[in-house]
């Protein structure tokens, strides 16, 4: 079976989707973009409703605030979906998607590409009794928002917790194999500002897994920091912390493996409800962390900032 895939958006990340989908053996059947552009030889559609009858699966590569509605539309049409992280950026969006995604009988994936980083896979396999996991993602806002000015807007990103922080909290939980179990003793903070960004640029979440292992997830988009991911793990039986430092050179490998898994899941109709529960739990904890941080430094507390969707396909990521 050749899996036919449509892409929502035609920005930088959508082009990565197209390249890696083809390498995975999928057929790129259609694209939706704000200006009607797309790859040569691929049909442009005006809307998801128009594209969905022609595809088996959809990948979503538009700004964060559009992810939830696009994902819901795809799932309700009975098609597999791979949505770039984050899945949601508000409590209202989480409420709307949770039941539908848990009940859906289709593959649902989120773009947590770090699960396919070879060094992180080896690190996870070697962990036996982890007692502390610290994951930090650094990428200055100027690099993060290059050609994507929407990335500077809280209403479209959800803030630092949902730009880079979502990768780090997911990664820490994945390394601990939490499988949907909640963190306890959750703490969070947010600080650091810039004149042209309307949310704090440094966010930190801390909690404890069921075993008591300490989890720390940090997103740092201040200034002109170069891309860097640092993972430090301490195991009960090994006093020397293990440290992995990554740069952008592994992204291609991660995306290719992630898309191969998505195409295979679509072909086999492999539904992972436990995986969906874990995805939802990551986002639930991020919402909680953002709320906790709002009392001190976040000028856009989740309880008072409206985050509303705009027309599907209005922007490309």
Top pLDDT among 149 and 162 is at 162
Give the number of other Cβ atoms within 10 Å of residue 151's Cβ.
Answer: 18
> Do the beta carbons of residue 108 and residue 74 sit within 8 Å?
no
**HSE-up of residue 236 (Cα within 13 Å, Cβ side):** 8
| Spatial separation of the C-alpha atoms in residues 107 and 4, rounded to whole Å | 14
Strands 4-8 and 27-32, bridge-based pairing? parallel
State percent of the chain over pLDDT 70: 93
Segments of the chain assigned to CATH 3.40.50.720: 4-113+256-271
What digits encode the pLDDT tens for the residues 22-38? 999 999 999 999 888 88
According to the model, what pLDDT value does residue 300 have?
A: 47
Q: Which CATH number fits domain 4-113+256-271: 1.10.8.350, 2.40.50.140, 3.40.50.40, 3.40.50.720?
A: 3.40.50.720
Pick 40 or 259 by higher pLDDT.
259
CB–CB of 246/99 below 8 Å? no
77-108 per-position pLDDT tens digit: 999 999 999 999 999 999 999 999 999 999 99
d(CA 30, CA 45): 7
Written as six digits, the tokens of 120 are: 């992180």
Per-residue pLDDT of 42-61, as tens digits, reads 999 999 999 999 999 999 99
Structure tokens that stand for 237 in this block: 């039986």
pLDDT of 51 reads 97
Q: Does position 307 have pLDDT exceeding 70, yes or no?
A: no
* Residue 313: per-residue pLDDT: 42
Please say whether the beta carbons of 266 and 58 come within 8 A: no
The closest of 20, 10, 215, 250 to 116, measured between CA atoms, is: 250
Cα–Cα distance measured from residue 175 to residue 109, given in angstroms and rounded to the nearest whole number: 18
Q: Angle, nearest 10°, between helix axes 67-76 and 91-103?
A: 20
CB 178 within 8 A of CB 274: no
Choose which CATH entry (3.40.50.460, 3.10.28.10, 3.30.360.10, 3.40.50.800) describes domain 114-250+280-294. 3.30.360.10
Closest CA to 119 of 21, 251, 259: 251
Indicate whether this model's pTM tops 0.75. yes
Residues forming CATH 3.30.360.10 domain(s) in the chain: 114-250+280-294
| Mean pLDDT within 168-195 | 96
């Amino acid at each position: 079976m050749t899996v036919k895939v449509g892409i929502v958006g035609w920005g930088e990340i959508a082009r990565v989707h197209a390249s890696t989908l083809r390498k995975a053996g999928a057929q790129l059947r259609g694209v939706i973009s704000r200006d009607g552009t797309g790859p040569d030889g691929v049909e442009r559609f005006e809307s998801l409703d128009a594209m969905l009858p022609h595809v088996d699966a959809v990948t979503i590569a538009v700004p964060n605030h559009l992810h939830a509605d696009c994902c819901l539309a795809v799932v309700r049409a009975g098609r597999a979906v791979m949505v770039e992280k984050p899945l949601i950026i508000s409590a209202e969006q989480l409420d709307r998607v949770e039941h539908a995604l848990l009940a859906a009988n289709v593959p649902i994936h989120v773009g947590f590409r770090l699960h396919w980083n070879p060094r992180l896979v080896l690190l996870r396999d070697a962990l036996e009794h982890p007692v502390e996991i610290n994951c930090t993602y650094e990428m200055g806002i100027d690099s993060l928002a290059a050609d994507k000015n929407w990335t500077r807007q809280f209403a479209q990103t959800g803030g630092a917790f949902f730009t880079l922080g979502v990768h780090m909290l997911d990664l820490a939980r994945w390394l601990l194999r939490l499988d949907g179990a909640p963190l306890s003793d959750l703490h969070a903070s947010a600080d650091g500002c810039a004149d042209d960004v309307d949310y704090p640029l440094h966010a930190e979440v801390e909690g404890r897994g069921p075993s008591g292992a300490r989890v720390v997830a940090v997103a740092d988009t201040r200034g002109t920091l170069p891309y860097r991911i640092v993972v430090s793990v301490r195991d009960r039986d090994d006093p020397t912390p293990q440290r992995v430092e990554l740069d952008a050179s592994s992204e291609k490998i991660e995306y290719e493996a992630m898309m191969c898994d998505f195409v295979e899941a679509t072909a086999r109709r492999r539904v992972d409800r436990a995986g969906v529960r874990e995805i939802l739990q990551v986002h639930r904890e991020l919402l909680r962390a953002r709320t906790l941080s709002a009392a001190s430094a976040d000028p856009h507390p989740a309880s008072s900032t409206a985050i509303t969707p705009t027309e599907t396909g209005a922007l490309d990521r």
